[in-house]
Structure formats: C-alpha cells, structure tokens
Chain A
Amino acid sequence: MSDRSLVSRLMQHDLGSRIFIGVLLLVGLGMPLAHLLLPESSFLHPSTYTLSLVGKYMTYALLAISIDLIWGYCGILSLGHTAFFALGGYAMGMYLMRQIGTRGVYGDPVLPDFMVFLSWESLPWYWQGMDMFWFAMLMVLLVPGLLALVFGWLAFRSRVAGVYFSIITQALTFALMLAFFRNEMGFGGNNGLTDFKDILGYDLQATGTRIGLFMVTALALGLGYLACRWIVGSRFGRVVTAIRDGEGRARFIGYRVEHYKLWLFVFSGVLAGIAGALYVPQVGIINPGEFAPLNAIEAVVWVVVGGRGTLYGAVLGAVLVNYMKTYFTVAWPEAWLYALGTLFVVVTLFLPRGVVGLLEKLRRQKA
C-alpha cells in the first residue's frame, strides 16, 4: 500500500485531521519560504524570532498529542509527561554540549564547562558516546521509552489507576527535577545545559539551521500525528478506548489491559521525548525547570482547552494557550498563572469538549 493511500485512509471522515495536516503543510513549508524569499520589510516576512517561536509551539503540540493519546483515548491522566519531554531534551542537550569542544569558556576538548568548574577529571560513563549524533538520538528514544516501560509496568501491573496514577506521575517528574538540580548528577545542576554552538556541524544561530530545525519539527509533528491516528484507528485503538470506557469489561473479554496501557504509555513517552529533543536546539537551553510539575499540569490544560480525545484538539490547545502565555509573559507576567487557572475553570465549566467541541457544535448548528 502506498503512503498516499494510507494517509488518506487515516483521515477519511476526519475534517479536523485534514485541516490540521493542511495547516501544518502551509506552516511547515510556507513560513520558511516566506522567510527566505520575502523582503524583511514585507508584512508577511516572518522574523527568525517568529520562526523559532512557532517551532517551539510545534514541539509543545507534539507533547500535547502524546498526552491526549493516553488521556483522551485510554483515560490515563499523566501529570508527569514533562519528565519524558525533559529527558529527551537532556539527551539532545548532552549531544549539543559535546559538540562545543574547545569553544567553551575553559576550552577543554572533552569536558563541558560545568564539569571543569566542578573540577571533574573525566567524563562520567553516561556521557560517553553522546558526542555521536546517532547514539544521542537513540538515547532520545530509549531513555524516555525505558522510563515509561518500567514506571508503567509497575503502575499498571499493580492496577494503579485514576487519580493515584496522576499523583505518582507528579511525584516522578518532581523527583527527577530535584535530582537534576543536584550538581553531582552531572547534568549541569540548576543551570542545566546551554551555550550550544552547532548541530551536525551546522551553526545553531545560522538561518539555514534554524529553518532546517523548523522543518524537521513540522515533519516530526506531522508524522507523530499520523502515527497516533493510525494507532487510534486500528483495532488496537478500539481496544484502548474500550479500556477507557470499561476496563473491567475489557478484562473479562480477555484483553490484557495492562499490556495495552503499557505499550500506549511507552509510545506516548517516546513521543514526548522526541518533542523535548526538538525543543532544546530551538530554545538553546535545557534545565531542571522543564521537569517542574507545574509544566506538566500546564500541558494537560492545553489538551483540556483544545478538546480531549481528538488529537488535533490537543494541537490547537497547545498553540492557543502558548500564544496566550507568550502574550502574557511580555505584557503582564504576574497574571499568567491566574489567567491559566481561569481558562481551565472556564473551559471545564462551559466547554467540556474544549474549543474543538465548540467549533463542532457551531458547525452542526449551521448545517
């Protein structure tokens, strides 16, 4: 079966997905082209700042999809998905760190600055190999994936579910945050990893590199989206939603509920890790703050705002809320958390199916 027909089959009877893929193509190709071709004076010329902002939003959108996949379709509410996001980010950050080489402040060819500062003699074992791009990318997938596997196995096997599961995921990301804050962990303590120079030999500040990263992110978001669509459209996906709606029943029918939850959770964790890895080179820093439990809750609010259980709703929510956040943090930073809280309350009270649900209702009324 050709890719084309697979893609079109995935989006049959799915207007939301078609709009999403259309917009993504437009943004993913159009913005770089406009940046390169249009004169800077043009109204339509996106600045490098805009480009990296949208790039960042796209990584958030990928994180939101990964949360919606498990929460919207399987009822597993993770309040610790930033753990996977940040771990993917750290794996990428370690690679970027090692690319700095002698250009660091201390000029050590192997050791990153913070290790020289701590007067470490040699690279810890877990930094070995991270100078190789392929190895670091493997870690981007493996580290979040393995954490999700072990954590999920313990939790689902003991039938930890509902709010208990949410609480222990919060604890997980909180514990990781505390650990990564420590200098002895070897991840740069509270400063994290930063001052990156280049990726695969390309200067991170160069326009070409920025555009490349932007397009790779758009591609990852598109592929991640289609993969999730494929999963939820398969019989596996129908089992997963059946588990959401009646776990006991699914078990009686003979499904090993834990396995389904576990594999979905692992895939979701890997997706979040990829999002984190794409986030880091575009914002230029990763620090333990990314593990903050509050961030994890914020990511869940994106999904709530956009509309749970549709995937494209998660994308819309991530973009909308972060656009608001960007606006607030410039115009009125102290008010952001209040605005976020209000938004959450308003949406849960008046838009139980999020913005997407509202749009659908309007469309049906018009028809």
Chain B
Amino acid sequence: MKLPRSLEAFADRSQVFDLVNPAVRSPKLDVSHGTILYLEDITVSFDGFRALNDLTLYVAPGELRCIIGANGAGKTTMMDVITGKTRPDSGTAFFGQSIDLLRLSEPEIAQAGIGRKFQKPTVFPEHTVFENLELAMAGDRRAWKMLCARLTSEQHDRIDEVLALIGLAAQRQAPAGSLSHGQKQWLEIGMLLMQRPALLLVDEPVAGMTPQETERTAELLVSLAGQHTVVVVEHDMDFVRSIARTVTVLHEGSVLAEGNMADVQADPRVVEVYLGEPA
C-alpha cells in the first residue's frame, strides 16, 4: 500500500503543502536558446547505488539523438527522470528554458509535450489500433468531457495520417493485442505522435524486430526528426549507425563521450568500455 508514502510527503516540512502552492500551469515551451532538453548534474541512487551520477546532457530541437551504453548504464533511468517517473536526488531538468520537469507530475509532463516509448511495447491490447490512437490523441483529457467526446473530421484525418505513417492502415480495426511485436512498437510510436510531442523518447525500439522491421523503424524515426526532437536508446549498433547524427555514450550513470558516430567509435575510452564489442 502506498499510503505511508503520501503520509511521508505530508510530514515532509522542507516545503509548504502541495495544495497551498499555486498550480504551475505549464508555460509554453521556449526553445529560443537552441536547446530543448537540459539535464544538469542529475544524480539518482537506489539504495546507495548511483544509477545516474552527475549526468549532464543537452539536446537541441529537431535533433535525432542516439544514446548508447552497456546494460545498466542508466539509460532507462534517465528517461524515468525526464518523464517524472523517478525523482532525482539532485540536479535540474528543464524542458526548454522555462519548464521545470522536476516540478511536474507524469501526466503534466506528457501534456507539456514529452512522449515516451517504453522498452516493452505497451499498447492497449483490447482496443483496436484506431482506438489506441484515438486514446492517445492530444486534447482535453478531463473525465466528464470524455463522456460526450466525438471525433471531429480533422481528428479523424489526423488518425488516418498517423496510421499511414506507421504503416498500419490495413490493421486499423484489428485489436492491438493481435499485432506482431514490430507492429506494436510502431503503434506505440504512432500513439506518441498523436500527442504531437515536441520531444520523443524512444527506448530500444528495434529489440526483437526482424531486419525488415528494423529497417522500417529506422526510416520512420529519421522521417520524424526535424519536426520532432527524437532521443533513441538502442543497443543495436548497426541500427544506431544507420540513423545517428549525434551519439551520446553513457557509462555508469554519466556521459562518457559525445559526438558523431565516427568520433565516438574512435574514442579510446569508448573502445575500452565496449571491449570486444564492435563499437
């Protein structure tokens, strides 16, 4: 039961009660300084183990950024911090100049424009492909509004457009649970796109995909960059090589190297960490 935790929050007097604080209406995303994501000195520890250790990372708008790193390097934890699932022990995380991610809840961050694709595909299996996209659509999410919500023709068109983009137009009425693994991954990317996010976080999109599916995914992600900022975590080096402009190497919770693929591959520290692996 999570009750004790909320009691703890209540007893924590290092800040005033949440309910007294004025609600922070998430301000408009401001990328005028040429950076959409700022992570500075982020530290996360689990029982003393530092999953992220003074991590500092900047991402520019429209970029397609690949994050690589060995198992347990902290890639997923970094995404957890950005999306509000895990609160860091210290550090700052800003979305554009003005949106403090550490003050927002998970749904608020999603509404501010950060979409996330999980490592495991998590679509709604009982809903059709179309309904999955409908649910993910940007818009008013208040409960009572949903009782009478109907799709406008623009919204319908938007869903069709995304269906075409992710290549699932033929499966629109199929239950999402019946899709192949790769198709589920695309559907999930499609669901992210329905929210028109400025920043897309994609965790291991091609794990378990066939080579053809991997290729399709690479095309899809490349086509999204520019309009969206895309951050991809991936182990598959061929895949990374095929899409990457800038690569960041994480190691033991901090950035080990950053740059274009060729430079990173030539970096002796990276070679050392990836000893034996064809980095």
Residues of chain A having any CB pair with chain B under 8 Å: 157-160, 164, 231, 234-236, 238-239, 241-242, 245-246, 248-256, 259-260, 263
Interface of A is mostly: helix
| Range, interface on chain B | 20 to 34
B172, chain A: closest CB distance, angstroms: 15
| CB < 8 Å neighbour of B143 from A159, A160, A245, A260 | A260
B127 adjacent to A241 (CB under 8 Å): yes
B136 within 8 A of partner (CB): yes
Within the assembled complex, what's the spacing in Å between the Cα atoms of A238 and B111? 19
Can you add 19 more A-B contacts, CB < 8 Å, to A234-B149, A239-B146, A259-B142? A157-B6, A158-B1, A160-B2, A234-B147, A235-B135, A235-B147, A239-B135, A239-B143, A242-B124, A245-B125, A246-B122, A249-B122, A249-B123, A253-B195, A255-B107, A255-B141, A256-B107, A256-B141, A263-B144
B148 within 8 A of partner (CB): yes
10 A-B pairs whose Cβ atoms sit less than 8 Å apart in the complex: A158-B6, A160-B3, A234-B148, A235-B146, A239-B146, A249-B122, A250-B135, A252-B107, A253-B136, A263-B143
| CB < 8 Å neighbour of A251 from B107, B118, B123, B191 | B107
Which B residues between 8 and 53 are near A, CB-CB below 8 angstroms?
none
> Are A249 and B124 CB-contacts (below 8 A) given A158-B3, A263-B143?
yes
Within the assembled complex, what's the spacing in Å between the Cα atoms of A252 and B117? 10
Within the assembled complex, what's the spacing in Å between the Cα atoms of A263 and B146? 12
B155, chain A: closest CB distance, angstroms: 11
Which B residues between 88 and 135 are near A, CB-CB below 8 angstroms?
106-107, 110-111, 116, 118, 122-127, 131, 134-135
A-B pairs with beta carbons under 8 A, tally: 80
Within the assembled complex, what's the spacing in Å between the Cα atoms of A251 and B84? 11
A99, chain B: closest CB distance, angstroms: 37
> Are A245 and B124 CB-contacts (below 8 A) given A236-B147, A254-B195?
yes
Residues of A within 8 A of B131 (CB): 238
B254 within 8 A of partner (CB): no
B183 within 8 A of partner (CB): no
Within the assembled complex, what's the spacing in Å between the Cα atoms of A290 and B122? 42
B125 adjacent to A238 (CB under 8 Å): no
> Are A160 and B1 CB-contacts (below 8 A) given A236-B146, A254-B110?
yes
A235 adjacent to B134 (CB under 8 Å): yes
B197, chain A: closest CB distance, angstroms: 10
B114, chain A: closest CB distance, angstroms: 10
Which residue of chain B lies nearest to A249 when distances are taken between CB atoms in the complex?
B122
Within the assembled complex, what's the spacing in Å between the Cα atoms of A157 and B144? 18
Residues of A within 8 A of B141 (CB): 254-256
> Are A252 and B6 CB-contacts (below 8 A) given A234-B149, A235-B134, A246-B122?
no
A248 adjacent to B110 (CB under 8 Å): no
B217 within 8 A of partner (CB): no
B107 adjacent to A242 (CB under 8 Å): no
B83 within 8 A of partner (CB): yes
Within the assembled complex, what's the spacing in Å between the Cα atoms of A239 and B126? 12
Residues of B within 8 A of A231 (CB): 147
Residues of B within 8 A of A248 (CB): 122
Residues of A within 8 A of B148 (CB): 234
By CB atoms of chain A within 10 A, which of B5, B6, B107, B124 has the most? B124
Within the assembled complex, what's the spacing in Å between the Cα atoms of A53 and B72? 64
Within the assembled complex, what's the spacing in Å between the Cα atoms of A256 and B141? 8
B194, chain A: closest CB distance, angstroms: 9
Residues of A within 8 A of B191 (CB): 253
Within the assembled complex, what's the spacing in Å between the Cα atoms of A363 and B148? 33
Which residue of chain A lies nearest to B192 when distances are taken between CB atoms in the complex?
A253
B1 adjacent to A252 (CB under 8 Å): no
Residues of A within 8 A of B143 (CB): 236, 239, 256, 259-260, 263
Within the assembled complex, what's the spacing in Å between the Cα atoms of A253 and B136? 6
B122, chain A: closest CB distance, angstroms: 5
Which residue of chain A lies nearest to B117 when distances are taken between CB atoms in the complex?
A252
B125 adjacent to A252 (CB under 8 Å): no
Residues of A within 8 A of B136 (CB): 253
By CB atoms of chain B within 10 A, which of A236, A248, A254 has the most? A254
Residues of B within 8 A of A234 (CB): 146-149
A310, chain B: closest CB distance, angstroms: 13
Which residue of chain B lies nearest to A263 when distances are taken between CB atoms in the complex?
B143
Residues of B within 8 A of A260 (CB): 143
